[in-house]
Structure 1
Amino acid sequence: MVSKIISALLLIACLFFISSTNAINLPGNYTLPKDSSDNLCFIARFDLVLNVEYVKSDGKKNISIIPLNNETFQFYDGTYALTKTHTLTITMLDNLTTITLEFFLNEKNQTSLTRVYGSVTVDNNTKYFPNSSIHARGPRPFVANESLFNADRAHSYRCNTRTKIDNFKTDGNGNVTIKSIDIENLRIQPFVDNMSTFHDYGVEEVCTMDRFTSSNLIPIIVGVCLAVLVIVVLVAYLIGRRRNRNGYQSV
């Protein structure tokens, strides 16, 4: 009996070891070059969700929500040698989907995300596109021009609030549409000075929504609203009490 229990435990341990070695772990930071931890050109971390609308075999439309996580992530790479352009490319779903973020350094020495492009392959064999129409299947390229995450060079950009990118042009003939790419919990710094050892992100430039939510403005607004509400109730009570008194006097 004991030997059977030990054998079962060993079997479970082996299965766990095999599954853990085959699992793909999402990187905590996306760094370029990938094989360096000291002299970096690019570093970022963020959460991402890809929202794809596709036509099903019955003619109805469905939204596929594809999060960037350990199940969907395959690998990442990018370009950083060009002086004015850096790219980060993330590959997902067994190499069926790629998303590229392209950053530009302008003449004022400011960085920004200027273009998002890639390709999504609608495959009926994946759980993300069940019952997809035959007309929707296959690789569908997409692109959107943007001006986001603006910061001075040597500074980093932070935005925990969700940023929705939704003006994509999709080559799907109406059968596939990229509804949006949602990015949140973002900290990013392209065009890092790789001539010096990297220690940490540069000075933060924080997005407007993060500044709004982290400030004391919301508690102040709530307090003012409560104070106004109390005053309105008190005034209404005094007016009602005065009318009642006048009614008694007339009697």
Structure 2
Amino acid sequence: MTRTCPFVVGIACFAILGCVTVVQSQVTLEVTEGNSTCIKAELSASFSITYDTANGTRTVTVPLPGSAVVGVASSCGGDGRSPWLVALFGDGHALGLSFSSNDSLYSVANLTLQYNLSDVSTFPEANSTDVVTVETTSVGMVARVNTTYRCISASSVIVGGATVTFSNVTMEAYMTGDDLSPNESVCTADQIFTTAPPPPPSTTTAAPAPVPTPPGTPNQGSYSVSNSNGTVCLLARMALQLNISHFSASQNKTIQEVVNLLPNQTTSSGSCDPTSATLVLTQGSATNLSFLFTLNTTSNRYHLTGLSVVAAWSDMTAPFITSNSSLDYLRGSLGRSYMCISEQTLAVDHNFSLNTFQLQVQPFDITRGQFTQADECQLDQDNMLIPIVVGAALAGLVLIVLIAYLIGRKKSHAGYQTI
């Protein structure tokens, strides 16, 4: 969601909560309440932002500097308010992270980035002097309660016309002590899946590990996203199946698990911008799936650019988190929906892929809350082509037999003469 209003932190008059230090390329940010620390983050971040100029568009990369400070909007939460960590930097720029939790997990529920286009040193020749705020609920940082989230690997989050890249992250919210917990929830990108060595020989025969039952074809669900005035801006009908490779606690090895998304237990949310649209599907506290569509205003074509998943299934040793923001799936034309009834596999990385069935999506230019005419996928076109080719071949064969019969009959008549 994009807004051109000032971010609630109050750039002109911020207060310092806690302290800020720099360790090499990392910034350490702490949110305190009284003498207690509730949020602590040690991280590196950079922001790739595209903006308009008189000669087109320009993209700049802005690092989170060591001079970043914790702003007055930062809070430990309570009374119905979410915990917030807000880092202020440069001439009117801010990064905000809000958190949510359940009995077993906490996560970054919302990422907000504010940038000030009137900062000519950062945004030279910008057409606008607005303070722009973009936000997303698709962040992918999840950890178990009372553990530290750790992700040394670089990970990117697309938010509006910007991309936020994190690295070297150690962070904890809802802290019970003044320092990060020694227990860690490690992101998927940092995990090295290995198979444990076999146990020593035993005189008793162990029961074989149960073989997972294939889940079958998933049921189709209907999902939608509305903008701030209640108008539907994204529609989706699809049946989804997740393929995840993770380390199994019960089997003590890496396994591939196939799980269907259950529409009757899944809620949808998201946001829409003129050139991007996000659909977030949440099944309880165990599965979160996010789709990012982008529109090319030159070609008037859209496609699925980003796909991310957060899964905290019972047999996982740690929450599974992965994303890919450089995809090229589900390509459609502006003003039309995209349809693919056939099963197709969307590969995200070597540990995660998504199977789709009976899919129809339209992320832009919705008319009266309904799908418009569809662009069909190549798989459906090929499936339609096969019976046409077979039918044509059979028709040709029948025609050949008929012609041969008529020729043979004519020759047979010619062999007899009337006396």
TM-score bucket of the superposed structures, by smaller chain = 0.5 to 0.7
Amino acid at match of 2:291: L
Identify the match of residue 383 of structure 2 among 202, 207, 213: 213
The whole-number CA distance in structure 2 between the counterparts of 1:67 and 1:35 is 31
> How far apart in 1 are the matches of 2:362 and 2:263?
23
The SS at the match of 2:262 is: coil
Indicate conservation of the 8 Å contact 1:155/1:202, yes or no. yes
Give the superposed CA RMSD. 3.1
Give the equivalent residue in structure 2 for 1:40: 232
Letter in 2 for 1:118: V
Partner AA of 2:241 in structure 1: V
Report if the CA contact (8 A) 2:277-2:294 is conserved.
yes
CA contact (8 A) 1:90 1:99 kept: yes
Opposite residue 112 of structure 1, the aligned amino acid is: H
Supply the AA of the counterpart residue of 1:160.
I
Q: Relative to structure 1, is the Cα distance of residues 36 and 83 closer, same or farther in structure 2, using a 3 angstrom cutoff? A: closer
Q: Secondary structure at the match of 1:29?
A: strand
Report the equivalent of 1:188.
Answer: 361
Q: Which residue of 1 aligns with 2:274?
A: 83
**2:317 counterpart residue number:** 137
The equivalent of 1:200 in structure 2 is: 370
CA deviation map 1:87-138 (0-9, x unaligned): 101112x2121110110011322111111112112423xxxxxxxxxxx522
Q: Highest relative contact order (Cα 8 Å, sep 6+), 1 or 2?
A: 1
The residue type equivalent to 1:217 in the other structure is I
Residues 160 and 210 in structure 1, CA contact (< 8 A), matched pair in contact too: yes
From 154, 158, 164, give the equivalent of 2:345: 164
Unaligned runs of 5+ in 2: 1-218, 402-419
Equivalent pairs: percent with the same residue?
19
The answer on whether the counterparts of 2:224 and 2:268 sit within 8 Å (CA) in structure 1 is: no
**Aligned residue identity for 2:322:** F
1:62 aligns with 2:242: no
CA positional deviation for 1:36: 8.3
Cα distance in 1, alignment partners of residues 220 and 381 from structure 2:
27
**Match in the other structure for 2:287:** 97
What amino acid does structure 2 have at the position aligned with 1:47?
A
Indicate the SS of the match to 1:217: helix
The answer to whether the 8 A contact 2:344-2:355 is kept is: yes
For 1:202, the aligned partner's letter is: T
1:27 CA displacement: 8.5
Q: Distance in 1 between matches of 2:279 and 2:391?
A: 41
Per the TM alignment, residue 191 of structure 1 is displaced from its structure 2 partner at its CA by: 1.1
Distance, in Å, in 2 between the alignment partners of 1:214 and 1:32 is 32
Tell me by how many angstroms 1:34 deviates. Answer: 8.2
Instruction: Provide the C-alpha distance between the structure 2 equivalents of 1:83 and 1:201, rounded to a whole number of angstroms.
Output: 18
Q: Is the 8 A contact 1:159 1:207 kept in 2?
A: yes
In structure 2, do the counterparts of structure 1 residues 47 and 35 end up closer, same or farther at CA, with 3 Å as the change threshold? farther
Q: Report if aligned partners of 2:221, 2:263 keep a CA contact under 8 Å in 1.
A: no
- Specify the code of the residue in structure 2 equivalent to 1:102: L
Per-residue CA distance 1:8-38 (angstroms, 9 max, x = gap): xxxxxxxxxxxxxxxxxx985211118988x
Structure 2 length normalisation: TM-score?
A: 0.38
Check conservation: 1:123, 1:138, Cα contact below 8 A: no
Give the deviation of 1:53 after TM superposition: 2.2
Q: Distance in 1 between the 2:309 and 2:239 partners?
A: 17
TM (norm. structure 1) is 0.61
Aligned-residue offset at 1:58: 4.0
Summarize the Cα distance change of 1:199–1:110 in structure 2 as closer, same or farther, 3 Å threshold.
same
**Structure 1 gaps, min length 5:** 1-25, 125-135, 170-176, 232-251
Between the aligned partners of 1:55 and 1:112, the Cα distance in structure 2 is: 32
Question: Which of the two has greater helix per residue?
Answer: 1
Say how many residue pairs are matched: 178
C-alpha displacement of 1:61? 3.5
CA distance, structure 2, for counterparts of residue 184 and residue 69 of structure 1: 13
- Cα separation, 1, equivalents of 2:343 and 2:229: 30
Any conservation in 1 of the 2:241–2:260 contact (CA below 8 Å)? yes
Check 1:221–1:51 CA distance in 2 against 1; reply closer, same or farther (3 A cut): farther
Residues 35 and 221 (structure 1 numbering): CA distance in 2 closer, same or farther, change over 3 Å? farther
Residues 44 and 146 of structure 1, relative CA distance in 2, 3 Å threshold: same
Which residue type is aligned with residue 115 of structure 1?
A: G
When residues 213 and 27 of structure 1 are mapped into structure 2, their CA distance, relative to the original with a 3 A threshold, is closer
Deviations 1:165-219 (A, max 9, x none): 12426xxxxxxx32x21011011111125xxx51531121111110121234342
